[in-house]
Structure 1
Amino acid sequence: MSSTTDAIGTSAAQTRSAELEQLIRKDPGRFRILTGDRPTGRLHLGHYFGTLHNRVRLQDLGVETFVLIADYQVLTDRDVAENLTEHVEELVLDHLAIGIDPERSTIFTHSALPALNQLLLPFLSLVSVAELQRNPTVKDEIAHSRQNAVSGLMFTYPVHQAADILFCKANLVPVGQDQLPHLEVTRTVARRFNDRYGHGTPVFPQPDALLSTAPLLLGTDGTKMSKSRGNAIALSATPDETARLIRGARTDAERHITYDPEARPEVSSLVLLAALCEGVEPGVVAEEIGAGGAAALKRRVTESVNAYLAPIRARRDAYAQDRALVRDVLRAGNARAGAIADATLEEVRAAMNAAY
């Protein structure tokens, strides 16, 4: 795919996302979203401002929300899913702490929904090997894989993701620009299933992308913020851990603080982080620090982050005292999502004339 085609696709997705935002405000009940994470460690500020904050916003607007903890997909780039139970529980705690309400949103795991995973089989028959090979996200994941050899699960990742989205007939998926090719696979699977088995009545919606406008936050080393790189500030980090990480963040040699993401990415990312926490424009933060230099910037960021995360951390600590509650949330979410997955699989079997 050429860069021109990419730009056209992204532009169309941005235009459609703006239209969707207006529709959500008018009638949130017409939408159901599927979103989620792999349980590979605690969520961090990059996750929060990138996607988590938006999940809470959509939930609070009245959009029916499904949050997937993709425990099976941990195996796409790892030989063993280590500390899986702990990571799953930590992910639930992070979501509860930021404001995901299990009474209004469904939190569930891959492994608890056999019917969801069984959808992968008919869905794979609708996608060619060549289409999977061309998928840019799959190619990128394979390039960064930790495994010596790429597993079949990695190769079929976009189709598994289609099953995640379509089992509950989600019609809206919040994504970043890099996830658009995955969602296009889901739309292709839905369209082809409907054409082949729908008999004039669509079984699945073709979900829309709600494109994220979240700004990119760099890690403390100036590269992409990532759990695996040790350059991220976890939502569950203590105030002292947060201060230590920010003190060690990369800046540059210029003393006067400005907000210029192109020329000064590391400094600008810190300025942006403070601005996001304070609810002001980045230029305001940069102007107020001015000649104070990197030390003043880091103090400002530390104070802003710790103040912003204080109520989230307090809620998280309270929930962490009751691990039975975490299990109850998962049990209820798995039961709710499982019933939907079972019904969808029965509908798929009927459409394929395979209901015995």
Structure 2
Amino acid sequence: MTTEPQTTRPQDDPGSEALSDSTSEASLRRSTARSEQIWADLEHHPSRYRMLTGDRPTGHLHLGHYFGSLRNRVALQDQGVDTWVLIADYQVITDRDTVDSIQERVFSLLADYLAVGVDPARTTIFAHSQVPALNQLLLPFLSLVTDAELRRNPTVKAEQEATGGRPMTGLMLTYPVHQAADILFCKANVVPVGKDQLPHVEQTRVVARRFDERYGRAGDGSAPVFPAPDALLSEVPNLLGTDGQKMSKSRGNVIELRMSADDTARAVKKAVTDPHRHITYDPVGRPEVSNLVLLASLTTGRDPHAVADEIGDGGSGALKRVVTEAVNEHLAPLRARRAELEADPAELRRVLAAGNAHANDVAEATLSEVREAMQMVYA
């Protein structure tokens, strides 16, 4: 990435194109190539990497989260990557007027994490609002970006277009900088994202570089305070909701991890299919049917075409029975573990408190480096 003199203002930054509303094809190719290098290196040197990822506690986790990210987090943790998982409770209020049920949702997220295999002995799980030094990084970071750059961020731009004229909160406008603070406070060097989220990682890289160029370095000055993180891209199954639309907690078209077997059966029974009796796996031509076939495939580890061929002329009824059985069987151990965790709220609180304490120690150390680099140490 192009560098600049220390006196350059952010609006003159040659790297500011990274903050545009879309990632260029060239940037996408670079990010993809770099991600492939990291995946290859992870097999041999997992200890080189610190990964940060997380979720907003706006609802309960579902199969889309499970197959899209949760299983991958556990795999990276088990591989030896230093794994950090953020429960982004402050980010709930970026676009919502209330925090109703937020405590219940925070601990629901935590129960899901532990139930799927996230190990608090190897993964730091923490809540945004409980780490003051992390949030204090927003102040110097905000000095490194412009209003125009923030408004070009895809998430901010989409929110602005979706409000229907309703004024956007300052917290929503600064959401990309808050994400940068989340990543940089613990000096994560890899961030699992989809291709549509690459601009957020690019923005974080720009913030890290601008901090170094404007404010300098701490300690002996041999290395920047903040590493420039890389995106860790992976193929994510394209699961639809039970109504055939994009899976979304707000649409009520998801199968939550916490659901009972009976609730799962009812959700699958209502799933949209099509009038053709013979079952095939054709995601383009038959997206709703293929989505159910894919669910059975993911939960059994079988090829989706083989699943479809086995059902054959059984129709949507047979397909839904197969999916219900496969999902419930796959999630049974997770749900049993989750029930144990929910029955012991003190343990959930202990795990979160320990993660918060570790995150605070790291955040305070990083903030001390920041103050030193900014020449704001007065004692």
Aligned to 1:41: 59
Counterpart check, 1:121 vs 2:139? yes
Question: Which 10-residue stretch deviates more, 86-95 or 259-268?
Answer: 259-268
Distance 2:22 2:137 in 1: 34
Q: How many residues align?
A: 356
Q: Is the CA contact (8 Å cut-off) linking 1:177 and 1:212 kept in structure 2?
A: no
Aligned AA for 2:84? F
Distance 2:35 2:162 in 1: 30
In the TM superposition, what is the alpha-carbon distance from 1:143 to its structure 2 partner?
3.3
Cα RMSD after superposing both structures: 1.7
Aligned to 2:240: 218
- For structure 2, list consecutive stretches of 5 or more residues without a partner in the other structure: 1-16
Q: Is the CA contact (8 Å cut-off) linking 1:257 and 1:287 kept in structure 2?
A: yes
Counterpart check, 1:337 vs 2:359? yes
Distance 2:79 2:159 in 1: 33
Counterpart check, 1:207 vs 2:229? yes
Q: Is the CA contact (8 Å cut-off) linking 2:21 and 2:154 kept in structure 1?
A: no
Instruction: Give the alignment partner of residue 78 of structure 1, picking from 76, 84, 96.
Output: 96
Aligned to 1:67: 85
Distance 2:23 2:372 in 1: 38
Instruction: Give the alignment partner of residue 90 of structure 1, picking from 100, 103, 108.
Output: 108
Counterpart check, 1:238 vs 2:260? yes
Distance 1:67 1:207 in 2: 16
Q: 1:268 to 1:9 in 2, by over 3 A?
A: farther
Aligned to 1:164: 182
SS in 1 for 2:199: helix
Distance 2:357 2:72 in 1: 25
In the TM superposition, what is the alpha-carbon distance from 1:128 to its structure 2 partner?
1.2
Counterpart check, 1:258 vs 2:266? no
Question: Which 10-residue stretch deviates more, 242-251 or 7-16?
Answer: 7-16
Counterpart check, 1:136 vs 2:154? yes
Map residues 259-278 of structure 1 onto 2, 5 A cutoff.
259-278=281-300
SS in 1 for 2:40: helix
Distance 1:288 1:165 in 2: 46
Aligned AA for 2:270? G
Identical-pair percentage = 62
Q: Is the CA contact (8 Å cut-off) linking 1:79 and 1:147 kept in structure 2?
A: no
Distance 1:282 1:84 in 2: 38
Distance 2:318 2:241 in 1: 19
Q: Is the CA contact (8 Å cut-off) linking 2:131 and 2:356 kept in structure 1?
A: yes
Aligned AA for 2:357? A
SS in 2 for 1:100: coil
Aligned to 1:189: 207
Distance 1:250 1:297 in 2: 12
Instruction: Give the alignment partner of residue 51 of structure 1, picking from 69, 72, 91.
Output: 69
In the TM superposition, what is the alpha-carbon distance from 1:33 to its structure 2 partner?
0.5
Q: Structure 1-normalised TM-score?
A: 0.96
Distance 2:143 2:23 in 1: 27
In the TM superposition, what is the alpha-carbon distance from 1:3 to its structure 2 partner?
11
Aligned to 1:177: 195
Aligned AA for 1:329? V
Distance 1:351 1:231 in 2: 49
Question: Which 10-residue stretch deviates more, 59-68 or 5-14?
Answer: 5-14
Q: Is the CA contact (8 Å cut-off) linking 1:319 and 1:326 kept in structure 2?
A: yes
Instruction: Give the alignment partner of residue 349 of structure 2, picking from 297, 304, 327.
Output: 327
Instruction: Give the alignment partner of residue 306 of structure 2, picking from 281, 284, 304.
Output: 284
SS in 2 for 1:26: coil
Distance 1:7 1:242 in 2: 41
In the TM superposition, what is the alpha-carbon distance from 1:147 to its structure 2 partner?
9.6
Task: Report Cα offsets for 1:212-240 as digits up to 9, x if no partner.
Answer: 31111100111111111111000010000
